[in-house]
C-alpha cells in the first residue's frame, strides 16, 4: 500500500529557535529570550541548569551581551527566510511546520491590537511559501509566550491569559488564514509539567509553594484556550483543520514483573491524558480521581467542560524521539538522557545526548494512538541531534542521520500498511537550529548545515549535508525509495 497520495512530507521548526531578531520589528521579549546556553551536562547536574528563578530572569532581561542567549540570535531566519525556504523547496517539501512568535504580534501580550510589522513579516513569509508550493502547518504556541505575561501573571497559571491568547489566535486566523489551513495549538502541551517556564511561563517563586499545582492549573487554562481557538479556527477559516500536539513518550516495563507493568501503565495513562482531553473533549475519569486525590485538580469555571466538548481537534499530531523504560527497582541503570529521565533499555542504542533510538517504538505508538483515538495522525517532529563534521571540501557526511530516518520511515510505512491513517511527516528540524533544551546549535538536527557555533561564531552559511539529497529522493518517490 505505502504512503497515501498527497502525503505531506516536510520539516518542522519553531520561531524562537531559528528566527533570531529578538529585538527587531517591534518584537517584545519572550520566555525563550532569557533561556541560557547549557553545555552538555550529566543527569545529576541537569536539574541545576534548568532551574528558573525570578532573579535569573531579571538578570537576563538587562543583559546586553547576547552571547549566552542563543535563542535571541537563532540562525537569523528572520532575514534569511527566503534562502532557507528555497532550500526546503529544493528538497521538494510539501509542508513546513512553522510557529508564530506571540511576542512579535503582541509584544507584551496585553495589547489590544497587533504590531503591524509582525503581521507583515509573517504574511510575507506565507506568501513566499505559497509561491514555492509549500503548505504551512502553523503552531500557535511553541515555547515562546511574551515574557511580560510570565512576570506579571505567572504565565498560564492566570486565567486572564486565556483571553490574551484568544486575541492573538484570532489575529493569526484572520491575517494568515488565506494561506494556512492546517493549525496546531500548543506544542507538546504535556510539557507544562516537565518544563513549566518554557511552556507556560510559570515562575516557581510565584507558585505559593506548590509548583505542580500551578502547572495543572496552567494546563487547564491551555486546554480551555485550545478548545476556544479550535472552534474559532473552524469558523474563521473555511476548510481549516486543527490538531493537538503531544510528546509521544511510550514507556515499556523493564521486566514482566507485575510491579514494573503497573508502574509502566501509570506512565502511559499519563501520556494519554492530554490527548484524551483534546480529542474526546473531557478529563478522563482515572486522571480526574488521581488529580483530586493529590490535590491537583484545577479550579474550573462553569462552562469549561462544555467548552472542551465543543472544541475537539480534527487530527492528532505528536513528536517522537525516543521511548522510555520503567522499573520499580531503584538500582536499575538510568539513561544519561537530559530532559526526561528513565531506566536504560538494553535493547536500544542512544544518541549522543542519551535519547534512546527506537524506530519500532514509532510503529507501536502509531498503532496504539490510532486505535485509541481513531482520527488522522500527523508526525510533526522526529529526528536525531548529532555532532556533524564539515570536511575540507565543505561536504558533510551524515550516514547516522540517514540511518535514523530510514529506520523510522520503514516502520511508519508498516504502520500505514496496517491501516493507520497518517496525514504527513515533518522532520525536526530540516535545518540546524538552536536546541530547545540546551540552547546548543551543535546538537544538530538538519539536512542543512548552518555554519555557526554555540556562542554565535561563524558565517551562518548554509550547506547541504548528504542527508539533504537522500530526503529529497524520499519525497520524490513518496517514501518508496528509502
Residue 182 touches ligand BGP, criterion: CB under 6 A? no
Distances in Å between the Cα of 96 and the Cα atoms of 184, 230, 242, 260, 407 are 13, 20, 15, 40, 22
Task: Give the residue with the Cβ less far from ligand BGP, 327 or 437.
Answer: 437
Number of Cβ within 10 Å of residue 83's Cβ equals 11
Task: Give the residue with the Cβ less far from ligand BGP, 28 or 446.
Answer: 446
Number of Cβ within 10 Å of residue 145's Cβ equals 30
Nearest to 298 by CA among 195, 245, 247, 224: 224
Binds ligand BGP by CB under 6 A, chosen from 198, 251, 264, 437: 437
Binds ligand BGP by CB under 6 A, chosen from 103, 365, 435, 467: 435
Task: Provide, rounded to whole angstroms, the least separation between the CB of residue 348 and ligand BGP.
Answer: 18
Task: Give the residue with the Cβ less far from ligand BGP, 187 or 356.
Answer: 187
Q: Using CB under 6 A, count the residues that bind ligand BGP.
A: 13
Question: For residues 413-432, which are near ligand BGP according to CB under 6 A?
Answer: 428
Binds ligand BGP by CB under 6 A, chosen from 10, 70, 177, 385: 385
Task: Provide, rounded to whole angstroms, the least separation between the CB of residue 116 and ligand BGP.
Answer: 28
Question: For residues 304-363, which are near ligand BGP according to CB under 6 A?
Answer: 319
Question: For residues 256-295, which are near ligand BGP according to CB under 6 A?
Answer: none
Residue 141 touches ligand BGP, criterion: CB under 6 A? no
Task: Give the residue with the Cβ less far from ligand BGP, 130 or 194.
Answer: 194
Residue 436 touches ligand BGP, criterion: CB under 6 A? yes
Beta-sheet pairing, 448-450 with 462-464: antiparallel
Instruction: Pick the piece of the chain touching ligand BGP (CB under 6 A) from 205-213, 219-227, 436-444, 448-456.
Output: 436-444
Distances in Å between the Cα of 477 and the Cα atoms of 34, 91, 93 are 43, 12, 12
Task: Give the residue with the Cβ less far from ligand BGP, 3 or 425.
Answer: 425
Residue 14 touches ligand BGP, criterion: CB under 6 A? yes
Q: Which of 135, 144, 148, 381 is the catalytic position?
A: 381
Task: List 386's β-bridge partners, or say none.
Answer: 444
Residue whose entry in the numeric block shows the C-alpha cell 561536504: 395
Distances in Å between the Cα of 330 and the Cα atoms of 89, 249, 265, 346, 378 are 50, 21, 18, 16, 36
How many Å apart are CA 337 and CA 356, to the nearest integer? Answer: 8
Binds ligand BGP by CB under 6 A, chosen from 175, 188, 276, 398: 188
How many Å apart are CA 440 and CA 459, to the nearest integer? Answer: 17
Residue ranges with strand state E in 349-444: 349-350, 356-357, 377-381, 422-428
Question: For residues 17-46, which are near ligand BGP according to CB under 6 A?
Answer: 17
- Expressed in percent and rounded to 5, the helix, strand and coil fractions of the chain are 45, 15, 40
* Catalytic annotation present for 381: yes
What are the residues binding ligand BGP (CB under 6 A)? 14, 17, 187-188, 319, 381, 385, 428, 435-438, 443
User: What positions carry a catalytic annotation?
Assistant: 381
Amino acid at each position: 500500500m505505502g504512503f497515501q497520495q498527497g502525503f505531506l512530507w516536510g520539516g518542522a521548526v519553531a520561531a524562537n529557535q531559528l528566527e533570531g531578531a529578538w529585538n527587531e520589528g517591534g518584537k517584545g521579549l519572550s520566555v525563550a529570550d532569557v533561556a541560557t546556553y547549557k553545555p552538555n551536562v550529566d543527569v545529576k547536574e541537569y536539574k541545576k541548569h534548568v532551574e528558573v528563578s525570578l532573579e535569573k530572569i531579571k538578570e537576563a532581561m538587562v543583559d546586553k551581551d547576547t552571547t549566552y542567549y542563543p535563542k535571541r540570535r537563532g540562525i537569523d531566519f528572520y532575514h534569511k527566510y527566503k534562502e532557507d525556504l528555497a532550500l526546503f523547496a529544493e528538497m521538494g517539501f510539501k509542508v513546513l511546520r512553522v510557529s508564530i512568535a506571540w511576542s512579535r504580534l503582541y509584544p507584551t501580550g496585553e495589547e489590544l491590537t497587533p504590531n503591524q510589522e509582525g503581521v507583515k513579516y509573517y504574511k510575507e513569509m506565507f506568501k513566499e511559501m505559497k509561491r514555492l508550493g509549500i503548505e504551512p502547518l502553523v503552531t500557535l504556541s511553541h515555547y515562546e509566550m511574551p515574557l511580560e505575561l510570565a512576570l506579571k501573571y505567572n504565565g498560564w497559571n492566570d486565567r486572564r491569559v486565556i483571553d490574551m491568547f484568544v486575541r492573538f489566535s484570532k489575529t493569526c486566523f484572520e491575517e494568515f488564514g488565506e494561506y494556512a489551513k492546517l493549525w496546531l495549538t500548543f506544542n507538546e502541551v504535556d510539557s507544562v509539567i516537565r518544563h513549566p517556564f518554557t511552556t507556560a511561563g510559570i515562575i516557581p517563586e510565584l507558585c505559593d509553594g506548590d509548583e505542580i499545582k500551578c502547572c495543572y492549573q496552567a494546563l487547564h487554562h491551555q486546554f480551555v484556550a485550545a478548545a476556544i481557538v479550535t472552534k474559532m479556527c473552524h469558523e474563521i477559516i473555511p476548510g481549516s483543520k486543527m490538531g493537538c500536539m503531544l510528546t509521544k513518550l511510550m514507556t515499556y516495563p523493564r521486566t514482566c514483573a507485575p510491579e514494573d507493568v503497573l508502574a509502566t501503565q501509570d506512565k502511559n495513562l499519563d501520556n494519554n491524558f492530554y490527548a484524551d482531553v483534546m480529542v474526546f473533549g473531557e478529563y478522563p475519569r482515572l486522571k480526574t480521581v488521581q488529580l483530586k486525590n493529590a490535590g491537583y485538580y484545577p479550579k474550573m469555571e462553569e462552562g469549561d467542560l462544555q467548552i472542551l466538548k465543543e472544541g475537539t481537534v480534527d487530527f492528532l499530531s505528536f513528536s517522537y524521539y525516543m521511548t522510555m523504560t520503567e522499573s520499580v527497582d531503584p538500582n536499575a541503570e538510568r539513561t544519561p538522557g537530559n530532559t526526561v529521565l528513565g531506566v536504560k533499555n538494553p535493547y536500544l542504542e542512544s544518541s549522543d545526548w542519551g535519547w534512546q533510538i527506537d524506530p519500532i517504538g514509532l510503529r507501536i505508538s502509531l498503532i496504539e494512538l490510532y486505535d485509541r483515538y481513531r482520527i488522522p495522525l500527523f508526525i510533526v517532529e522526529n529526528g536525531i541531534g548529532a555532532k556533524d563534521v564539515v570536511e575540507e571540501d565543505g561536504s558533510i557526511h551524515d550516514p547516522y542521520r540517514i540511518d535514523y530516518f530510514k529506520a523510522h520511515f520503514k516502520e511508519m510505512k508498516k504502520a500505514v500498511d496496517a491501516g493507520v491513517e497518517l496525514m504527513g511527516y515533518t522532520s525536526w528540524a530540516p535545518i540546524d537550529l538552536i536546541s530547545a533544551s540546551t540552547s546548543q546549535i551543535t546538537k544538530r538536527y538538519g539536512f542543512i548545515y548552518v555554519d555557526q557555533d554555540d556562542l554565535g561564531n561563524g558565517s551562518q552559511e548554509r550547506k547541504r549535508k548528504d542527508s539533504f539529497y537522500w530526503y529529497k529522493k524520499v519525497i520524490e518517490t513518496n517514501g518508496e525509495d528509502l
